[in-house]
Structures are given as C-alpha cells and as structure tokens.
Amino acid sequence: KAGVTQTPRYLIKTRGQQVTLSCSPISGHRSVSWYQQTPGQGLQFLFEYFSETQRNKGNFPGRFSGRQFSNSRSEMNVSTLELGDSALYLCASSLGQASAYNEQFFGPGTRLTVL
C-alpha cells in the first residue's frame, strides 16, 4: 500500500508569490490534515479536511487556504508569500473518523523556501 505522497518535495519562491502544495492520502483514507514545521514555532496545525469539508482550522492568517477533492487528494495554497512562510509543510492522512484509534500517517513533506 503506497504511503502519503506530497508534491513537490522542494520549492523555492520569492516574496509576494503564491504557491500550491499537493497531498495524496493513503488509498481509502478520507481525512487529510496539514501542518507547518519551522525551527522557531515547531509543528503547528493548519487545517483538516474530511469528505471535501474543512473540519478544523488552526490559527493561521487567511493567506493560508486549502481544499479537498472528491478523491480525497488535498491541496493547500499560500498567497502573498512572506519570508516567514519558509517551512516544511507536512500532510497527514487517516481513515476519517475523529477517533484516536485511527492512526495518522505523515508524508515526507514539502520544503518551501521563500526568498
């Protein structure tokens, strides 16, 4: 069974640009969560999608948005990039129910560098 895949793995952008990151969950998984990992702030929850609906949202500005498609693949978008958006963006998938018994599986991440 293939794991969680994220594309691209590395990305370099300049300030003011926008970027779209993609996440393909494990087959059969319907929930996708996104996290931002930085040396200063650690791992922070961005949002969670389940059946194409945002189920939960972290404390990030509106420049950060996401969506989920009918095949459970998810994308996140960051508009008007700032230097502080440089981070490793991790995606995690799970079966879907908000149950701790459903393990979350993480992808390798997309490393975004903003110049």
Partner 1 sequence: AQSVTQLDSQVPVFEEAPVELRCNYSSSVSVYLFWYVQYPNQGLQLLLKYLSGSTLVESINGFEAEFNKSQTSFHLRKPSVHISDTAEYFCAVRYTGGGNKLTFGTGTQLKVEL
Residues at the site binding partner 1, with contacts judged by CB under 8 A: 4, 31, 33, 35, 42-45, 48, 50, 55-56, 58, 90, 92, 94, 98, 100-109
In whole angstroms, the minimum distance from the beta carbon of 62 to partner 1 comes to 19
Q: How far is CA 89 from CA 21, 47, 56, 100, 107, in A?
A: 8, 12, 17, 22, 9
Give the distance between the most distant pair of CA atoms in the chain.
41
* Closest to partner 1 by CB, 15 or 86: 86
* Closest to partner 1 by CB, 13 or 55: 55
In whole angstroms, the minimum distance from the beta carbon of 16 to partner 1 comes to 28
Q: Cβ neighbours of residue 75 under 8 Å, at least 6 residues apart?
A: 20, 21, 22, 23, 66, 67, 69
In whole angstroms, the minimum distance from the beta carbon of 53 to partner 1 comes to 11
* Closest to partner 1 by CB, 70 or 99: 99
* The residue type at 80: T
